[in-house]
Structure 1
Amino acid sequence: MGHPSRGSSLNNLSHDLQKRFEQTGHLEDLDESIQLSREALPLHPLGHVDCGFSLGILSGGLRNRFQQTGHLEDLDESIQLNRKALLLRPMGHVDRSSLLHNLGVGLWIRFEQAGHLEDLDESIRLNREALLLCPVGHPHRGASLGNLSLGLHVSFEQKGHLEDHDESIQLSREALLLHPIGHPARGFSLNNLSRGLRKRFEQTGHLEDLDESIQLNRDAILLCAMGHPDRGSSLNNLSLGLSIRFELTGHQEDLTECMSVSKQAAEDIYSPVSKCLLAVQNWVNFTWCHDLTQSNLDAYITGLSLISRSLSVMPMISLQYQHLSSVIKLPEFVSDGASQAIQLGQLTLAVEIIEQGRGLLWSELRGLRTPMDRLQALDPSLVNRDWFGHSLSDKRRLLHAQGDIIDRIHKVPGFETFLGRKSFGELKSAAKHGPVILVNCSWYRSDVLIILEQNSPVLISLVEDFYDQVETLVEQLTEARSLIKASPKRYNHVLRATLKDLWDLVVSPVVTKLQELHIPEMSRIFWCPTSILSTLPLHAAGPISHDNKKFLPDLYISSYTPTLTALIDAFNTTKLSSQLPRLLVAGQHDENLPRTKEEIHEVLQYQNHIPTTSVEGPAATKKALEQALVDHEWLHIASHGTLVPKEPFASYFSLAEKSHFTLLDIIRLNLPNADFAFLSACHTAEQSPDSVYDEVIHLAAAMQFCGFRSVVGTMWEMADVDGPEMAKDFYSRLLSDENVSRCNEVGAQARALSEAIKKMRARKGVTLERWVNFVHIGA
């Protein structure tokens, strides 16, 4: 410390570690390089002769790490540091060309992520300037040629200017000549030229271009040993070329090699997950086009494992959600994979796939609460080695070893599915209190799987265009809801038509099958819809008769569950003690919710039946609510509920002092005594239109996650007038003298809501959307 050469030594070691990472792909080298660069930077402030070098070294490390982890803040910081460094290298400076090169690469990568053409255009301009500074014989000329070639190739794909494409291929050939066998950049140059030739084949149909492209890719793979950071890209490019040539020639050897290469690319644990998922998508598309159903199913299963793996290296739930939103079309991917299993007659596997792919974020969060005590008692070495308690960097480095440890854990009795796909044998216990109706909504085929506790799944195949019809229903209902205040009659008409279509398309066949299975009327059923269907009110489908008065609630008591595991957990945590629950009533006093006081008054009418605490008005702060929840099993909250577009974890209940009780606040709670929550607010069981539907991220699901095994919520905006009436009818059923001793039994709240909705429907002037709004979730 304090030595005048310390900064230079740190930078030199950082530089060497980055070079070793580029050859080996070992992430610990990259992490250490960045750490050393950050330590060196304050030792070389502005004005120091080595300031530009320090900025450049750190920028390069962050850019490389972004390509491995996908953390956009690393890439943004890299570009910012590069711009600062470039200002210190004016025209004529010996290092200007390398900084132009690095900034151009960073901007091109950011263009790939965000799609902003100004980043691409600036990248090309910088690379042209860099090339001018690297004449024939310059050691960096090959890199400049390759980067400019790549930028022009992408520009052609975006804008269609043929001159960009021709120049790109010409530059790629020149770069390859400068990167002979043994040169570390030869693989990049081979891939670059291969990509350009394949694209030119697509334009001209000249098979010799495609043949050369494939051979160049094969050569590139030979230079990328297992663990090399470019191996996944090379495999992906070869897979694409082989699939195109097979389409043209029908040569079986191309098909066989394409399948093998796709599988290798998807399963390369050293490649960035984004590259692996791209390989899975190629694998899926190719096998689907050629009716290779079993291989197609294998691709989906591999993809689901990759998606789960990708979440484990992301430190924040917001990043995980962003990843799921952008990396792959998740709802379609899960449902399409299940449809392949159904096509092969593997119904239990279809159930397992849907469960694995739905609610991934909830599953990841539950994994953080996985009890390890029993595993430690059976095999302490698997827990004491702390494979799962390391930092984020350690987790990435131990990924391969972690797989070995998980394999060992799977051999311990009772842990066969630890952190993996749960077996149908476990999942069917979700149906212990009534059949679970899993509706798989896929563009390829759509089906219902009725899950019974003692039997295999029962299949109902739906109409061929089911997905298209559901998509139309969602669009029509969403549009009508956006205009509800201007045209309430139109909305009511669209909603009625939607409920009728839902009955005809899916609910009527389900009811017919339930009756064949001798499921008694007015018993409980549990809906678990997938993809876009999860936004529609299946629980209220109908009418079921010509008099237009009877709907599904007149036949069965419907509940929803986001996943089978969530329902199983809800049943397993149900409080069956004879002790009465303690009810917390919370609500804000707001002039825009004039009936809230009346609603709270109605709930408090039953404080002589069960222990009740009220936190309302100015006292109903976020802090007061969180503290009180610890000591109460039940919650009734009357408040504003608000969705935040594109930020589902920011959705919130409004409380006193203008505080927000957000979805993220809720999932941070751990309430072991929680049992039942009535969320008397708008949008509490609604996902925002831009959500990843199969993640089921809404306020009610968050309540269930933090411990409430039974929740009443709302599908959309709630009429203020319904608060007091619903509370009165609900609690008069649940806490009546004859029912209060059984008020915390499984199904008690669902039955109470069913009765309250029947009374609401019977009242004059109650529109369809008001009673359809209320839903029950959980046990």
Structure 2
Amino acid sequence: MFTGAEASTFSLLPPSQTPSTVHPQPSPTTQYSEPFSMLRVVRRLFRPTITHSSLRGRYVRLEVISGQDLKVPSERIPAGIHISINVDSRRCWKSAISVLSYEELATWADTVTLPPQASPAFSVEITASYEADRILGSGEVIGKLQLSWHELLNHGDESFNLSFPSVRGVDPSLTLKVAVVRACDDALSDSFIHCKIDRDTDAGHARLVKYVKRKRVSHLKAAVQHFQLVLGQCPVSHPDRAAALTNLAWARLQGYTRNDLQDIDATTSLFREALALRPQHHPDHPLSLYNLTEALNWRHDKESTAADIREAAQLYHELLPLCPEGTYLRSTAAGENGVDYVIGGCNDLPIDASEEGICLLELCPLGHRHRPRALDELAWTLIPCFTQRGNIDDLDESIRFLREAVSLCPEGHFDLAYYLNNLTYSLRPRFDHQGKPNDLDEAISLYKAALRLRPVGHEYCDTSLDTLGQALITRFKIRKDIDDTTRALSLHHEALTLLPPGHAHHDITLHNLALALKIRYDELDVSEDINEAIDLSALCSRFTHTQKNEDVDVEEAITLCQESLIIGGFAFNAPEQIQHNPTDLSLAVDNFRLASGHPTQGFPDRIQIALHWVAEVESHQHDSAFEAYQVCMELFDSHVMTRSSIISRREAATAFRATTYRKLMEQWEAAVAEIRSLQAFSRFLLPPSYADLQAAACHGPVIILIASKYSCSAIIVPTSGDPHHVPLSSITLADLKTLKDRFTRAIRHTSRMNPTEPRTDLIVLLWIVWDEIMLPIVNVLENVLKLKRRSRIWLCPTAAFTSVPLHAAHPFQTRADRSKEPCLEDLFICSYTPTLSALIRSRRMMKKRVSPSFVAIGQGQPGAGKGKALSAVDSELELVHKLIPATATHTTIFGDAATRAGALEGLEENTWVHLACHGKQDPAQPYDSHFVMRDEHLTLLDIMDKHIPHAEFAFLSLSACHTAVGDEETPDEVIHLAAGLQFSGFKSVVGTLWEVDDAVAKHVVEASYTYMFHPKEVGVMDATKAAWALNCATHAVKTKVSLEQRMFHGSLWVLHPGVHQVV
């Protein structure tokens, strides 16, 4: 049965029937989806009516086949669609989630067996889910129907459509099939939603739908309020937090797009946090990417922020490969308001010729309507690159892009002439640079093709006429074909007729026509040509001055113009009128020198300039004659070497040199083999053997992490036995680079946060490091190598791995007994090393120990302009002094004594050093990285220049410095402050990954030295205990600072490549 208004808004039967014709009297106008035989029609007419009582002891098997026209009321993109069937108030069945297609279709083919005895009617509900992984709430209702069992079974064993109330102008429907059976699969479950956040989420969805339909701000505020309540119940570690963030952000975004809310920045931040909680390979990662692009696109639409549209382009570049073809998400993301909008916005911005332009082009695959424009934009950015660098590859690439753009525009395409013309702008510079006539001929053909598409009356007809005329004049200079210059003059005259006086291009066309006439005069000596050229130059000068509205005597300017033409030899060769000014001659020679050596000019033009230089200096007996001849010869050699005949000879010479090289290599290999036959030289010029390298793992396994464009993996070198290869299949080199950038941004953001604020971004990133990098390695260490807890391991990262804090990897999970899953530092004592050989060398050097001596260097009052005062330095030095064994030689350098010279002397005379001051990392010039002293900076180069043969241990407690991590621009494996000290001779260095809170630093310093010198009474200073001491110290800090501080500061301290400690 139907209830209320629902009965008039949907139909259970085929479209030709109505609810009143349920019984066996088919309408004469009934239309079926397939032909029926007479027998089947008779069966329908005389089918017995099924009642609720007749179904006793039987069950109804319902197959949900597919859905059509499944529009979402809120216009939001769902993760998928599912069907719910509620038999009564307690029991329901839910289908699997089906991804919506671009045609708004979904398929299930799910089957459920229902007990009709439970109630006389049941309900069917179509719901949109916004989570593919874990669903928060029931989702957004697309349609809901209440119907009786006999209405359902009236369709017999044939599939039928069930129509639902209209949504956004169309009627959603389901294709179903039913049958009566005698067995039940008991697929029903409890339908009651116990969780408050589920109820609040569903209420928020309902209010948002009302807002979209009725445009009432009160409904939007109610939706935002419900979603805000849900978010308040989902702390950082809650599995539904990402969904709660997304729902709230989407509601706020709808208010922003309709001008009912203004705070788009907060909305974008919510989407960003949700994306951070859904990293790569998460089922909802693509949808979170899309949601963030929507916010960025809307903000760009209203505020035109270049950074937003560029970021959106990068996100789409990541999103589209994750969206299967044919899905609703793919069609929307690749549509007019998605990628097309972003491409249009990026095309209006200056585009970088490297990564940004290529990224934009990849968003426009072959067949995309914006691909020609993207190719054209990228090609144009390469021309200035050629102008600046003189690299012909830039022009070749530009021409390749433009050729493709032209090929994608069929005859009659609106922009074909535009792309043809632009292709000539790349061909002409290449002709000027290389002098190949084919480029000029092709450019002329393209100019002609563009002119045919721009007849008289087209806004750019005059431009096409003029540029074709200039190209023909250029070819005339080479081939002396009089037809070219005649045609060029005709084109210039025609262009001039289309440009009345006062037009912006009138003076340019006058000038070009005058030059063409002058060139023909030079060849044919026709006096009418030079007279007309002079007249045109006068007109051009008059027009230019008139356009600028300058209050000058134009007639006098015309006269001077004519005189300059005569004096300069433009109209008459009158050298006797030239005044021999030595200053002018020297300036002219300088200009000849610059012009003949300019890298962006082609060899033919530069040769002509050099020859002119020779002629002038010979005429005036200038002392640069030898230089001019030398430049000429060099240009001739370079030009001739590019000719085809020379290239053939060059290839022959190359083949001869290759034969000579092979003979030399044979002699080399014989000599090396003879050396290797000598005793103790068997590995001459060979890398160390595995047996030699395994000595690095004598105190614990060494894990080498390798990243390349092909794969990422780890190699574990155990204390004995063969190495173990651990594939890291869930992460790529691109993922690592992204992870590095995200760490840099998260660290920078976290350093500005309140100590009590949750470090969500950092938690997510450290979880990724655990889950995708360290967990597979830990599994091998524990399950294969049977390594015990608190054992030593050495990490040896390479490439992009060096920028990731591997030792801080953390699962952030809670066990069933409410205990925390251990992190990497709970399991093992971690150190780093740059190479296995470095670890072996350090161990050898540690055997040559001398009596330890300790120096603490602190500068809390740097000079003016060198940083703020550090009030905690003095108290830190006092603390260190108390912790050092009394038997050890101990020196403290601070205040005015902590100068560059004083610090260097302390480093030379002691084996242990503690540094507390400002530090400054210089990624561009690593050796200029420095520690701030009272007078001058103490640079890494200063330290490395000193002879410190017995340096053992350094502890860096620096402010305003990241001693072991860079930023987005820092290259992999750059020398940081801590690494620099180790390369300077220190066997072990303790540093930090980023800025450290003073209170946390004090706790770590105190705990580290306490554990290292325990028992203090013995007075033993053993640097080999540093890693164990630091590990104990970081665990001890957990009991003295808040969770948030532990999250940010507790894993900062790392130990640099050395015997026992690493950064």
For 2:745, give the aligned amino acid.
E
Where in structure 2 are the equivalents of 1:267-416 lying within 5 Å? 413-414=679-680
CA contact (8 A) 1:663 1:702 kept: yes
Equivalent position of 2:642 in the other structure: 192
Aligned AA (1:757): T
Measure, in 2, the Cα distance between the counterparts of 1:405 and 1:430: 32
2:803 matched to 1:535?
yes
Deviation at 1:639, TM superposition (A): 1.1
Q: Mapping of 1:23-42 within 5 angstroms?
A: none
Runs (5+) with no aligned partner, structure 2: 1-581, 616-624, 862-867
In 2 relative to 1, CA 519–486 (structure 1 residues): closer, same or farther, beyond 3 Å? closer
SS in 2 for 1:775: strand
Supply the distance in 1 between the matched residues of 2:647 and 2:1049 (Cα, whole angstroms).
61
Q: Distance in 1 between matches of 2:727 and 2:746?
A: 30
Q: Is the 8 A contact 2:789 2:827 kept in 1?
A: yes
In structure 1, what is the Cα distance between the partners aligned to 2:710 and 2:672? Answer: 34
Q: For the Cα contact (< 8 Å) 2:885–2:1020, is it kept in 1?
A: no
Could you tell me which of 776, 789, 794 is aligned with 1:509? 776
Q: Please say if residues 643 and 688 of structure 1, whose CA atoms lie closer than 8 Å, have aligned partners that are also in contact.
A: no
> What is the SS of the residue equivalent to 1:772?
coil
Q: Which residue of the other structure, out of 924, 943, 963, is the alignment partner of 1:684? A: 963
Could you say which residue in structure 2 is the equivalent of 1:582? 853
Amino acid at match of 1:652: H
The residue identity in structure 2 corresponding to 1:769 is F
- Aligned residue among 888, 901, 904 for 1:623: 901
Supply the AA of the counterpart residue of 1:565.
S
**1:552 equivalenced with 2:824 (yes/no):** yes
Alpha-carbon offset, residue 190 of structure 1: 6.4
Q: Deviations over 1:172-227 (max 9, x none)?
A: xxx7xxxxxxxxx4xx5565246xxxxxxxxxxxxxxxxxxxx8644313346988
8 A contact 1:652–1:663 mirrored in 2: yes
Question: Could you give the per-residue CA deviations for residues 590-617 of structure 1, whole angstroms, max 9, x where no partner exists?
Answer: 3532111111111100241522111111
1:670 matched to which residue of 2? 947
| Cα deviations by residue, 1:317-375 (Å, 9 ceiling, x for unpaired) | xxxxxxxxxxxxxxxxxxxxxxxxxxxxxxxxxxxxxxxxxxxxxxxxxxxxxxxxxxx
The answer to whether the Cα contact below 8 Å between 2:694 and 2:718 also exists between their aligned partners in 1 is yes
- In structure 2, do the counterparts of structure 1 residues 466 and 512 end up closer, same or farther at CA, with 3 Å as the change threshold? same
Provide the residue aligned with 2:134 in structure 1: none
Distance in 2, Cα, partners of 1:767 & 1:631:
36
Look up the match of 1:497.
764
**Unaligned residue ranges in structure 1 (runs of 5+):** 1-85, 109-119, 148-174, 176-184, 195-214, 228-259, 270-301, 303-399
1:240 aligns to what?
A: none
Q: Give the structure 1 partner of residue 106 of structure 2.
A: none
Q: Deviations over 1:714-750 (max 9, x none)?
A: 112222333322221111111122695654163x000
**Residue number in structure 1 paired with 2:889:** 611
**2:909 aligns to what SS in structure 1?**
coil
Deviates more, 1:679-688 or 1:535-544: 679-688
2:747 to 477, 481, 494: 481
1:189–1:411 CA distance, 2 compared to 1 (3 A): farther
Aligned CA distance change for structure 1 residues 407 and 543 (closer, same or farther; 3 Å):
same
In 2, Cα distance between equivalents of 1:625 and 1:401: 54
The 1:485/1:436 distance shift into structure 2, 3 A limit, reads: closer
- Are the equivalent residues in 2 in contact too, given 1:726–1:756 (CA < 8 A)? yes
| Cα distance change on mapping 1:773 and 1:223 into 2, 3 Å | same
* Deviation (angstroms), 1:440: 0.4
Provide Cα deviations, 1:468-501, integer angstroms capped at 9, x if missing partner.
2222211222223333455568892211111100
Q: TM-score normalized by structure 2?
A: 0.38
Which residue identity lines up with residue 775 of structure 2 in the other structure? Answer: S
Change (3 A) 1:103 1:525: same
Contact 1:687 1:697 in 2 (8 A): no
Paired with 2:992 and 2:603, the residues of 1 have a C-alpha distance of 49
User: 1:688 and 1:750 mapped to 2: Cα distance?
Assistant: 26
How many residue pairs are counted as aligned between the two chains?
Answer: 450
Separation of aligned partners in 2, 1:689 and 1:739 = 47
Code of the residue aligned with 1:773 in structure 2: it is L
The answer to whether residue 726 in structure 2 is matched with residue 460 in structure 1 is yes
Tell me whether 410-419 or 697-706 shows the greater mean CA deviation. Answer: 410-419
Structure 1 or 2, whichever has the larger Rg, is: 2
Instruction: State the alpha-carbon separation in 1 of the partners of residues 713 and 1027 from structure 2.
Output: 26
Residue matched to 1:129: 609
SS in 1 for 2:776: helix
Give 1:708's match in structure 2, choosing from 978, 986, 997: 986
- Matched residue of 1:584: which SS? strand
Inter-partner Cα distance in structure 1 for 2:932 and 2:711: 42
- Kindly indicate whether the alpha-carbon contact (under 8 Å) linking 2:885 and 2:1019 is maintained by their aligned counterparts in 1: no
CA distance in 1, matches of 2:603, 2:640: 21
Structure 2 equivalent of residue 385 of structure 1: none
Q: 1:739 to 1:477 in 2, by over 3 A?
A: farther
Residue 200 of structure 1 corresponds to which residue in structure 2? none
| CA-based RMSD | 4.2
CA distance in 2, matches of 1:751, 1:589: 29
When residues 624 and 636 of structure 1 are mapped into structure 2, their CA distance, relative to the original with a 3 A threshold, is same
1:306 corresponds to which residue?
none
> What residue in structure 2 maps to residue 448 of structure 1?
714
The letter for the 2-side match of 1:761 is K
Equivalent residue for 1:221?
Answer: 651
Could you tell me whether the CA contact under 8 Å between 1:600 and 1:724 is conserved in 2?
Answer: no
Q: Distance in 2 between matches of 1:734 and 1:689?
A: 36
Q: Do 1:131 and 1:145's aligned partners in 2 also have CA atoms closer than 8 Å? A: no
The CA deviation string for residues 519-576 of structure 1, in whole angstroms up to 9 with x for no partner, is 2210111111111221111001012642556311100011111222221121111157
State how far apart, in whole Å, the 2-side matches of 1:676 and 1:103 are: 56
Q: Which moved more, 1:516-525 or 1:677-686?
A: 677-686
Partner of 1:103: 597
Partner of 1:750: 1027
Give the Cα–Cα distance (whole angstroms) in 2 for the partners of residues 92 and 473 of structure 1.
57
Task: Return closer, same or farther for 1:413/1:702 CA change in 2, 3 Å cut-off.
Answer: farther
Aligned partner of 2:843 in structure 1 is: 571
Flag the 1:761–1:89 CA change in 2: closer, same or farther, 3 A: farther
CA contact (8 A) 2:751 2:995 kept: no
Q: Within 2, Cα distance between the matches of 1:92 and 1:411? A: 68
Partner SS for 1:762: coil
Q: Secondary structure at the match of 1:583?
A: strand
Retained in 2: the 8 A contact 1:685–1:714?
A: yes
Structure 2 counterpart of 1:308: none
- Structure 2 Cα separation of the partners of residues 404 and 744 of structure 1: 49
Q: Classify 1:96/1:690 alpha carbon distance in 2 versus 1 (closer, same or farther; 3 Å).
A: closer
1:723 aligned counterpart, secondary structure: helix
| Matched position secondary structure for 2:963 | coil
Letter in 1 for 2:597: L
Structure with greater strand share of residues? 2
Q: Distance in 2 between matches of 1:750 and 1:476?
A: 28
Question: Counterpart of 2:931 in 1: which secondary structure?
Answer: strand
The answer to whether the Cα contact below 8 Å between 1:89 and 1:96 also exists between their aligned partners in 2 is: no
The change in CA–CA distance for 1:521 and 1:131 in structure 2 (over 3 A counts) is: farther
Taking the TM superposition and a 5 Å limit, the aligned residue runs for 1:67-86 are: none
Q: Percent identity?
A: 28
Alignment-derived partner of residue 1053 in structure 2 = 774
How has the CA–CA distance of structure 1 residues 505 and 96 changed in structure 2, closer, same or farther, with 3 Å as cutoff?
Answer: closer
Could you give the per-residue CA deviations for residues 29-72 of structure 1, whole angstroms, max 9, x where no partner exists? xxxxxxxxxxxxxxxxxxxxxxxxxxxxxxxxxxxxxxxxxxxx
SS at match of 1:726: helix
Counterpart residue identity of residue 130, structure 1: A
- Mapped contact 2:993–2:1053 kept (Cα < 8 A): yes
Q: Which amino acid aligns with 2:856?
A: V
Whole-angstrom CA distance in 1 between matches of 2:916 and 2:963: 11
Q: Which residue does 1:230 correspond to in 2?
A: none
Greater helix share, 1 or 2? 1
